[in-house]
Structure 1
Amino acid sequence: MQTIIAQSHVSARPSVFAQQDAYKPAPIPCYFRRGASTSPSALGRAQLAGNPTRVIVVAAAATTAAGPASIPHWKQAINELDKPRDQRKVMICQVAPAVRVAIAECFGLAPGATTPGQLAESLRRLGFDMVFDTLYGADLTIMEEGTELIHRLQSSLEANPHGEEPLPMFTSCCPGWVALLEKSYPDLIPYVSSCKSPQMMLGAMVKTYLAEKRGISPNDICMVSIMPCVRKQGEADRDWFCSSGAGVRDVDHVITTTELGSILKERNINLPELPEGDWDQPLGTGSGAGVIFGTTGGVMEAALRTAYELVTKQPLPRLNLSEVRGMDGIKETEVKMVPPAGSKFAELVAARAAAKAVDEAAASAGAIKWDGGAGFSNDEGANGLTLRVAVANGLGNAKKLLTKMQSGECKYDFVEIMACPAGCVGGGGQPRSSDKQITAKRQQAIYNLDERSTIRRSHENPAIQTAYQDFLGEPNGPKAHELLHTHYVPGGVETSE
């Protein structure tokens, strides 16, 4: 295990987080229950058995504006796209990070051989009116998830000045992990980030923020996602993902990478030969942090780039966190964060240091009455706060990691779980390949895009800053919570046709 350490000093640089203390969510349980069952608890089983309303019927899935659900979603999207422009909805699509590196394989090329600009141009030639980048949604996710992590850390420090128990907080971007969580680990739901996935955040922003700016009724928008994951349609079908009103889904249809490749070839749109196109604005700008969402460890790495700066007021000294990269099943590291003197975090860290010193003295010299931290100084918190993080690559490794955490064998504060080996680049909607190194090659292509990005931290994305200033308010604030956060269902969501 390696530790990333950096001292920090107060920075005068303006931040979108400047007024974040104006709103704080209710305290969240801060202790991971050791020995928790990997199946629903007795209370959970009783609730599942006695609460028929748990079974949520997704009525919107039975029929759509394009036709019955028996028609594949890619076909429904194309049917709507093929209508005369004056008779169809406004067709908008978004493209996930992992798609841009794998779509070239549909044309016999190496991962990353075509550019994101060519991909945007191909979608415009298919007939989409606007083409947005899910990187924008990923940056939104980091703003919300990073802030949520900091709030949970602060709550933990305030509630437990005498202890160093882990939070932990789990990421929530992967629908495969969410399905496992709801069905097999419902006791862990309080420890999972409430953030929607980037796909769903961008869908919500399209049918609220964009619709308002462009004067378009959300009912007149057909939102299509191009995703590497076969579970993303099921995610989009969740009954409560209707930010603009009942029955108006944030994301209408999902097309996989492989399906898009087939559609482009069928329509003689030769992706490798296309000129560079542009993403539409204001939801088309993303950072390098958003790009790395496409591979295992990327969500963790992107979140730390922002969370570290939120606590220390200084940029993370090393953006490429090799400790959470690669194809290992379980990866772990520690990140030391030293908050600036005078900050709330410095006060809380110092209080914990003072409490620890008193506890140690009491253990060796008899009973000592603790003064509640009233006599501590900021110097006592100079060693900062150590954030313990882990990444599980694939659900098999996730189960192993959870078992160790439940037994107390290991402790973490922040955990990323991805259902597919290598993360989204290895998703079930990606092109099949006989190359055993294909996911590693896609992963490297993702990192190359990050390295070439002008902006590599989500909170530095000017389009994100504008959205918070003009529409969302502060990260984790009331409006952001309403549009960008979700909840989970013990036992899972069942759909009926």
Structure 2
Amino acid sequence: MSAILSADDLNDFISPGVACIKPIETLPVAPAPEPTSSSLEYEVILDGSHPQGQGGEGGEAAPAQISLTDCLACSGCVTSAEAVLVSLQSHNEVLSVLDAAPALRVAGPDTNGKYTVNGLEDGSGKLFVVSVSPQSRASLAAACGNGVTEQQAGRMIEHLFMGKQGLPGGGKWGNGFTWMVDTNTAREACLVLGSDEVLGRSISPSAGKPATPILTASCPGWVCYAEKTHPYVLPHLSRVKSPQALMGTLLKTTLSRTLGVSPDRIWHLAVMPCFDKKLEASREELTDTVWAGDGKPGRGVRDVDCVITSKEILMLAESRGIDFFGLSNSAASVQQTIFPDPTIHGFLFPARSRRQSEAAGTSGGNLHFVLHDVRSRNPGSQIHTVRGRNADVIEYAVVAASGETVFKAARYYGFRNIQNLVRRLKPAKPSRMPGGRPFGSTKRPTGKSSTPEFAYVEVMACPGGCTNGGGQIKVDDPVLVERKGLPAKPGPQEQKEWLAEVDEAYFSADEPDSGLDAKPEVHGGHSDEVVDGISPSRIRDTLQHWSSITGIDVERLAYTSYREVISDVGKRQLTDTERVVQLAGKIGGGW
């Protein structure tokens, strides 16, 4: 999150709850006197200070260490990504894991197509794989300047994780990453799955269709906000995983099944533009207890072990004494091992990257793809656009040649606009009077006309979309101030120009495919029209192949679930006995 125009224009921040409590986990020691409830908790105040007389000598508490686990366990507040103090997932964690033990090495394929994994005898060795988002590549490309494209920045990241001048050239064991993949490939699968969900053509009918309007759920900040504050919108959330989550499941399941390696020996790092993606990676819905267990969320092996942001890429390089901006961005990139399944390899490493359409926006293009999918099925139809009350609210309609509106959708970015959306979805409350009418919000988000109501709404927490995420390199970062000669305290104009540079870099890859005008593509024995440069039949066939080689239903692989988070703030405090039992249950397990 960053301000584009002024501080008054910020709309992705929700203040912490008035009573934000962090328990201090201590076991009672006999015969010590029974501690008071105030000695077991911190009250976190907005300015970061603590009340007097709680937990420190002289009546002053030591600084509270709020970890990601604390934020997930507490449901008393929701903050913007920049306000969350994250300690579990960082560039330091990446270096710590890399230096823990010699990495597993994959050799092959041999003449029989078999792969060999070396190093399994060391129980602490891991196989390292990393996925990188296009928004992060765009942020780093803009920081490089000199016309560096998003694709070239991707090659620099590849050299950092896999090249001899990068991480493998140092550290205790010289460990590097075996594969680096682009989350754009998973994004394309999510676009097809999401459109099928909206239009009632789900590849897994048992997954069920959300209530109308269907709301995008690839933004973890938005999902966290909905689960904690407005659970009545949960039936509207899309069940399709985000590209980060889908890629994590794809890598863990495919590698574990094809190489015979336990999922906990595969360490997956994701590079994302958003701190809230760290929260998403820690969800119990995105672990092997779902796809390898009984299908229910639980504390298991995470599909994404660690998330670092665009800014943390620079910190990671600096920690090893590597000049990131000096890394090669030439086409002669590092040679990667062939992925152990040919079909999945072709999906993860396409022959040519596809530039994003500027009309699709910088958040993945969920809504854009759905609109074009609807238009492709209604020959002669047109997409009409109406700007809402600000630049982050836009309404869309697919209008048939006859003039009839066949589909309506909208885009809501930033919490200021999201709050307006969820208020319109709030169900009416029943009247307490006998025979009385329900009261409260019953106005559905229908746009300017009464029918039809929106079928789909793309929701993102950050104003301007994902290129403006909280983990992106900011215009006031010392690196930019030095490299670009910016003022130490850049103003609104410099902020706006910087975000425009990042957006330009995001759209700087190869030329786009011809989209709806492309010729039908033959795949799997049948032809399929390409929609916005993507072949839905190819995606569906790949998903079915993925299911067949892993022996796991597509529903468990590609869909997720949500749950209401009930606040514990203000409720009865646990007794010492209950606290001991709770702590005992945590010993030696989980994360």
Range class of TM-score, shorter chain: 0.5 to 0.7
Q: Does structure 2 retain, via aligned residues, the 8 Å contact 1:229–1:428?
A: yes
1:300 aligns with 2:367: yes
Q: Does structure 2 retain, via aligned residues, the 8 Å contact 1:94–1:225?
A: yes
Aligned with 2:242 (options 172, 180, 197): 197
1:400 aligns with 2:420: yes
1:144 aligns with 2:193: yes
CA distance in 1, matches of 2:142, 2:387: 26
The aligned runs of 1:160-199 (5 Å cut-off) are 167-199=212-244
1:92 aligns with 2:143: no
Distance 1:194 1:73, change over 3 A: same
CA distance in 2, matches of 1:458, 1:472: 24
CA distance in 2, matches of 1:322, 1:111: 33
CA distance in 2, matches of 1:74, 1:422: 27
CA distance in 1, matches of 2:392, 2:231: 23
1:442 aligns with 2:496: no
1:74 aligns with 2:88: no
Distance 1:336 1:454, change over 3 A: closer
Q: Does structure 1 retain, via aligned residues, the 8 Å contact 2:215–2:457?
A: yes
One-letter code of the match for 2:313?
L
Name the structure 2 match of 1:430.
472
DSSP 3-state at the match of 2:285: coil
CA distance in 1, matches of 2:362, 2:312: 20
Distance 1:441 1:105, change over 3 A: closer
Name the structure 2 match of 1:216.
261
The structure that has the greater radius of gyration is: 2
DSSP 3-state at the match of 2:391: coil
Superposition deviation, residue 182 in structure 1: 1.3
DSSP 3-state at the match of 1:93: strand
One-letter code of the match for 1:263?
L
Once the two structures are overlaid, the 10-residue window that deviates more, 204-213 or 425-434, is: 204-213
Aligned with 1:331 (options 391, 394, 397): 394
Q: Does structure 1 retain, via aligned residues, the 8 Å contact 2:381–2:399?
A: no
CA distance in 1, matches of 2:356, 2:381: 13
Distance 1:290 1:249, change over 3 A: farther
DSSP 3-state at the match of 2:254: helix
Distance 1:84 1:471, change over 3 A: closer
CA distance in 2, matches of 1:315, 1:174: 33
Q: Does structure 2 retain, via aligned residues, the 8 Å contact 1:139–1:287?
A: no
CA distance in 1, matches of 2:142, 2:454: 37
Aligned with 1:388 (options 408, 421, 426): 408
CA distance in 2, matches of 1:186, 1:152: 26
Name the structure 2 match of 1:485.
559
Name the structure 1 match of 2:181.
132
Taking structure 2 as the reference length, the TM-score comes to: 0.55
Q: Does structure 1 retain, via aligned residues, the 8 Å contact 2:138–2:502?
A: yes
CA distance in 1, matches of 2:317, 2:423: 45
CA distance in 1, matches of 2:233, 2:259: 41
Name the structure 1 match of 2:303.
250
Q: Tell which has more relative contact order, 1 or 2 (C-alpha 8 A, sep 6+).
A: 1
Distance 1:436 1:104, change over 3 A: same
The aligned runs of 1:91-110 (5 Å cut-off) are 91-107=128-144
Q: Does structure 1 retain, via aligned residues, the 8 Å contact 2:381–2:398?
A: no
DSSP 3-state at the match of 1:487: coil
CA distance in 2, matches of 1:290, 1:235: 27
DSSP 3-state at the match of 1:103: helix
Distance 1:457 1:211, change over 3 A: farther
The aligned runs of 1:282-361 (5 Å cut-off) are 282=345, 283-285=348-350, 287-288=354-355, 295-296=362-363, 298-309=365-376, 311-312=377-378, 328-336=391-399
Identity among equivalent pairs (%): 25
DSSP 3-state at the match of 2:395: strand
One-letter code of the match for 1:387?
F
One-letter code of the match for 2:398?
V
Distance 1:458 1:188, change over 3 A: farther
Distance 1:430 1:131, change over 3 A: same
CA distance in 2, matches of 1:192, 1:130: 32
Aligned with 1:120 (options 112, 137, 158): 158
Superposition deviation, residue 271 in structure 1: 4.2
Superposition deviation, residue 315 in structure 1: 11
One-letter code of the match for 1:467?
T
Once the two structures are overlaid, the 10-residue window that deviates more, 449-458 or 436-445, is: 449-458
DSSP 3-state at the match of 2:507: helix
Post-superposition CA distance 1:210-254 (Å, at most 9, x none): 432344332220011001110111111111211354611111000
CA distance in 2, matches of 1:203, 1:99: 17
Q: Does structure 1 retain, via aligned residues, the 8 Å contact 2:187–2:364?
A: no
Superposition deviation, residue 467 in structure 1: 2.0
What is the total number of aligned residue pairs between the two structures? 371
One-letter code of the match for 1:301?
H
Q: Which ranges in structure 1 are unaligned for 5 or more consecutive residues?
A: 1-56, 63-68, 154-165, 339-381
1:417 aligns with 2:480: no
Q: Does structure 1 retain, via aligned residues, the 8 Å contact 2:213–2:454?
A: yes
Q: Does structure 2 retain, via aligned residues, the 8 Å contact 1:337–1:385?
A: yes
Q: Does structure 2 retain, via aligned residues, the 8 Å contact 1:103–1:111?
A: no
**If each structure's helix is expressed as a fraction of its own residues, which one has the higher value?**
1
CA root-mean-square deviation: 4.0
Q: Does structure 1 retain, via aligned residues, the 8 Å contact 2:137–2:154?
A: yes
Distance 1:93 1:181, change over 3 A: same
Q: Does structure 2 retain, via aligned residues, the 8 Å contact 1:395–1:419?
A: yes
Name the structure 2 match of 1:33.
none
One-letter code of the match for 2:134?
P
